[in-house]
């Protein structure tokens, strides 16, 4: 269980450190407005967008487990979706053009759509479903019957929000760390120097997480 929560935190840091998820925009905002206070504002918009993307993807899954009660199949399908997204991104490195049409001041909207388009939110699904499963396994020894199902539903919902929040806080802190470092000490040169092409690694991360989901499903 703890390992899965660590995965939530680490994936947040991974997303936050990736310049493609937006921290350079926070530096740019502070420099454009010539005041440092614009940076936390921009970071807040970016993380809010990211959080909403997480919730938008995880919430339907939490409802599905409750409504359909075929968790095994749902987890199987979810894993295949995540793997499929990874393979798609591996083959198609094109950046969706609609992201380029968003007004540069609408950072929250950009962050939201970007996290959806690049599968950032999807990456959390197998981890989230794993947490739900373990919670259920632990719970089933204590509870039984109708009451347990109700509890599980609200538990899954809270877990979805918890996973989204913990992931996004970690993402926001990691992004803020780099943004502050670049703004105050390292300078803009760091952006081109430290930006690594994560496209392939990112796609592989999705496949890996999806594969974990399949493995987990087989063992629980």
Partner 1 sequence: MNKPMKPDPTFHASPILAMRAPVENFAFTIMLGKDTSHHDGLAVIDLRKDSKTYGEIVHQVIAPTIGDEFHHFGWNACSSSLSPLSGHAFLERRYLIVPGIRSSRIYIFDVKDPLKAKIHKVIEPEEVFEKTGYSRPHTIHCGPEGIYVSTLGGSGEDGTDSPPGIFIMDCETFDIIGIYELDRGEQDKHYDFWWNLPQNYMVSSEWGLPPQFENGVVPEDLVGGKYGHKIHFWDLRARKNIQTIDLGENYQMALEIRPAHDPTKSYGFCGAVADNTNLQGAVFTWWRDEDGKWQAKKTIAIDPRPEDPEDLPEIIKGFGAVPVLITDIDLSLDDKYLYVACWGIGEMHQYDVSDPFNPVLAGKVELGGIAKETKHPNGKDFVYGPQMVEVSRDGKRVYWTNSLYSTWDDQFYPHQEGGQMVMANVGENGGLTIDPDFYVNFPENMRAHQIRLEGGDCSTDSFCYPSV
DSSP 72-103: HHHHHHHHHHHHHHHHHHHH--PPPGGGGGS-
Binder among 8, 15, 16, 28 for partner 1 (CB under 8 A): 28
Binder among 84, 199, 207, 211 for partner 1 (CB under 8 A): 199
Q: How far apart are CA 101 and CA 127, in angstroms?
A: 32
Which two tokens mark 15?
């997303």
Q: How far apart are CA 138 and CA 220, in angstroms?
A: 12
| Per rule CB under 8 A, count of chain residues that contact partner 1 | 33
The least CB distance from residue 100 to partner 1, in Å, is 4
Binding residues for partner 1 restricted to 154-183, rule: CB under 8 A: none
Which two tokens mark 4?
């899965």
Binder among 3, 142, 196, 218 for partner 1 (CB under 8 A): 196
Q: Does 184 bind partner 1 (CB under 8 A)?
A: no
User: Do residues 20 and 109 lie in contact, with contact meaning Cβ atoms separated by under 8 Å?
Assistant: no
The least CB distance from residue 161 to partner 1, in Å, is 27
Q: How far apart are CA 22 and CA 84, in angstroms?
A: 25
Q: Does 185 bind partner 1 (CB under 8 A)?
A: no
The least CB distance from residue 99 to partner 1, in Å, is 6
The least CB distance from residue 212 to partner 1, in Å, is 26
Q: Which is nearer to partner 1, 34 or 146 (CB)?
A: 34
Q: Does 108 bind partner 1 (CB under 8 A)?
A: no
Q: Does 87 bind partner 1 (CB under 8 A)?
A: no
Q: Is the dihedral of CA 130, 78, 20, 33 positive or negative?
A: negative
Binder among 2, 91, 97, 147 for partner 1 (CB under 8 A): 97
Q: How far apart are CA 117 and CA 110, in angstroms?
A: 10
Taking the C-alpha atoms of 133, 137, 142 and 144 in order, what is their torsion angle to the nearest 10 degrees?
A: 70
Binding residues for partner 1 restricted to 31-60, rule: CB under 8 A: 31-32, 34
User: Do residues 12 and 168 lie in contact, with contact meaning Cβ atoms separated by under 8 Å?
Assistant: yes
Q: Which is nearer to partner 1, 42 or 65 (CB)?
A: 42
Interaction site with partner 1 (CB under 8 A) = 19-22, 24-25, 27-28, 31-32, 34, 93-97, 99-105, 110, 188-189, 191-193, 195-197, 199
């Amino acid at each position: 269980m703890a390992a899965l929560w660590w995965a939530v935190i680490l994936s947040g840091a991974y997303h936050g450190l990736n310049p493609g998820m937006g921290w350079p925009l926070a530096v740019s905002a502070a420099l454009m407005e010539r005041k440092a206070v614009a940076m936390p504002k921009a970071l807040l918009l970016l993380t809010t967008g990211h959080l909403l993307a997480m919730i938008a993807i995880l919430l339907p899954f939490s409802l599905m487990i409750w409504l359909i009660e075929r968790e095994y199949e749902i987890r199987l399908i979810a894993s295949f979706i995540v793997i499929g997204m990874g393979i798609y991104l591996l083959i198609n490195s094109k950046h969706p053009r609609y992201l380029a049409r968003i007004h540069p001041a609408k950072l929250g909207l950009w962050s939201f759509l970007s996290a959806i388009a690049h599968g950032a939110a999807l990456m959390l699904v197998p981890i989230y479903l794993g947490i739900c499963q373990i919670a259920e396994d632990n719970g089933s020894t204590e509870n039984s019957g109708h009451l347990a199902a109700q509890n599980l539903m609200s538990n899954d919902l809270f877990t979805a929000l918890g996973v989204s929040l913990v992931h996004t806080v970690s993402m926001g802190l990691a992004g803020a760390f780099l943004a502050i470092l670049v703004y105050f000490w390292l300078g803009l040169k760091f952006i081109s120097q430290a930006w690594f092409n994560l496209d392939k690694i990112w796609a592989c991360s999705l496949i890996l997480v999806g594969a974990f989901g399949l493995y987990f499903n087989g063992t629980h």
